[in-house]
Structure formats: C-alpha cells, structure tokens
Structure 1
C-alpha cells in the first residue's frame, strides 16, 4: 500500500496503529458525528465494532449507508473508499489488516459479506 492511501497517513487524527507485525496491522478508529475520511485503502481486513455507528461509505460516485451495532465482527474485503459519520454518535472500531494476499475473495462494506 502506498503511503498516500494509508489511512494512518490520510487521516492520522482518526486512525492509529495499535499493533503490527509481519502478518497483520491492527488499527484503532475513532470519529465524531460529521467526521469524514479522505480516500484510503484497506487490504483484506477483519473489522470489530466497539460502538454502534451509522456511516456513508463511498468509492467514487458509488455510496452505501451502513449501520452496525456494537460488538459485531465482520470480514471486509480489500477496498478503497472514504467514509462519513452520518450518525449522531461517535464511532469506535478495530481493523485487523492482513498483510498476506487473499485467495481472491472480493467484497466488504461495498460488496458481498461473508
């Protein structure tokens, strides 16, 4: 991933690295209602919602509104997007980004879930 697409570079006030080794990078994400992220990229990732949230995830001119309760663990396939907290509460989540290439399974917030 180029640094220009790394969420800790595009939005360092929202994303922070809490753990990293040669196989995974773990990011913590926190935002407030109305906050937006710049376009960034995630590799294949496991997302853990620590708070409920409502947000709009966009990739170019395609947008999806996503509402999630706290305590959900979800697979998110590699993707590039930007986000907007359209809810009335802060977002808090953990992203476990895999460094090994996947087996070609696509999907995620903007695509099929598994």
Structure 2
C-alpha cells in the first residue's frame, strides 16, 4: 500500500510540473477557414497560412504568441477585442513577433496579402482542468496502437475548435514503478471538457477505440484536478 502511495505522489508531481497551456483561444481556422489554413502542427507549434484578398475581413478570433512571416507587402486595419482599431502596413519579408491577441483583421490595400503565422504551444499558461490516467498496457494493445488512437482523438478535439486540448501519453522509466504509463488529459475548464466529450466528432473517435478504452479503464488509476484560482 505504501508503494502505491509513493507512486501516486511521484505521478502527481510530474502531472503538476508538466508544461501547462491556456486553451481558451477562439480558433481562427475553425471560425474562418477561408482565410486560415493549417500547414503543419505538432505538440510544439501550429503553422498557419493566412491569405486575404483586397477588402476582405475576418471574424474576431484569438492567436497564442508566436511569429508572423509576411510573404507579401501588406496594408490592413486591425480591430481589437476592446473595440479599438489600428492601421498596419509592411513589406514582404517582414518577420514580426506577435503577442497573444484577440483581433479582427481587414485587408485595406489594393492587392492580396499572404503570411505564415507560427503559433507557439505550451506557453506556460495554466489549464483549468486536467486528468491523469496511470495504467499498464493491456494485453493485445501496443504502445504504437494506443498513441495512434490518441492522435485520432486529438484530431477530433482540434476539429471541434480546441487544437491545444486533448491527450498526451508518457512512459514511466522507473523500473520499480507499479504503473508503466500515464496519460494526461488537458482541458480549458469543466464546461469545455463536457462540451468536447458531448461532441459527435469526439464520440465517433472514441467509439473506434472503445476496446482500448475499456481495457485501460478496467485497471487504471484515474485522477482529476482543477486549477485553484
């Protein structure tokens, strides 16, 4: 029993010290796919290609901090969440650091403009809700199978408009540990957790891996945590 308590304490320490992220962004690719396309995404960054024709504007949305690389000259008006607006202009080849911001751009120039925006993940912001699953790999389930299934789950979550939420799989290297794997679930808050888990895309992805989920749930240690404000 004492061994189990030690394992849980170590796991919770890892759980609380992992890089944490803010997940409250309104995803531009979800609400404005005509102008924002994902070119590349992994657990470190998401790379967007952004294109606006003359006179086109977007909907109010939010980006995490990152870098913008302008491929063309540009002239734009940028409305901000507080109701203000600012004029922006620059040249193709400009590289600009961008802080986390909520805005609504409009191309006020006579020509189309295009840029690449590199959004950074794991930027030190705290998620509102987390879950931790400690378990052994069930018989007949490989590490690659589980990891591929979690990628499908995360894809469904991203398509719901929460690209930074989802599941992360870790392998415990301590040879004396009772459990060999833990899976972290990261969520903005309880309400969003419920919304994601009630979505049709999440349910469809979960159904494909029902056998894996059932086998893990039969023997896992499951913990939930919410941020103390």
The counterpart of 2:112, out of the listed 87, 90, 93, is 90
The number of aligned residues is 102
- Indicate whether 1:67 and 2:84 are aligned: no
TM-score relative to the length of structure 1:
0.84
- Other-structure match for 1:8: 29
Alignment partner, residue 64 of structure 2: 43
Structure 1 stretches of 4+ moved >4 Å: none
Question: What is the rounded CA distance, in whole Å, between the counterparts of 1:78 and 1:102 in structure 2?
Answer: 12
- Which structure shows the bigger proportion of residues in helix conformation? 2
Instruction: State the TM-score, normalized to the length of structure 2.
Output: 0.43
Secondary structure (helix, strand or coil) at the match of 1:51 reads: coil
Alignment check: 8 A CA contact 1:56 1:85 kept? yes
Cross-structure match for 1:58: 79
Cα distance in 1 between the residues matched to 2:124 and 2:116: 20
Q: Highest CA radius of gyration, 1 or 2?
A: 2
Which structure has the highest strand share of the two? 1
Aligned residue for 1:8, secondary structure, equals helix
Mapped contact 1:46–1:75 kept (Cα < 8 A): yes
Contact 1:51–1:91 at 8 Å: present in 2 too? yes
Q: CA deviation at 1:101?
A: 1.2
Q: 1:20 aligns with which of 35, 41, 45?
A: 41
Distance 2:41 2:109 in 1: 30
Structure with bigger RCO (C-alpha 8 Å, 6+ apart): 1
In the alignment, which residue of structure 1 is the partner of 2:50?
29
In the TM superposition, what is the alpha-carbon distance from 1:102 to its structure 2 partner? 5.5
Q: Which runs of 5+ in 2 are unaligned?
A: 1-22, 126-229
- Give CA-to-partner distance per residue, 1:14-65, whole Å, 9 cap, x none: 0000000000000000110010010000000100000001000111421010
For 1:79, the equivalent position in structure 2 comes to 101
Decide whether the 8 Å contact of 1:44 with 1:102 is kept in 2: no
Instruction: Give the root-mean-square deviation of aligned CA atoms.
Output: 1.5
Contact 1:10 1:38 in 2 (8 A): yes
Deviation for aligned residue 1:91? 1.0
Task: Report the CA distance between 1:69 and its aligned residue.
Answer: 0.4
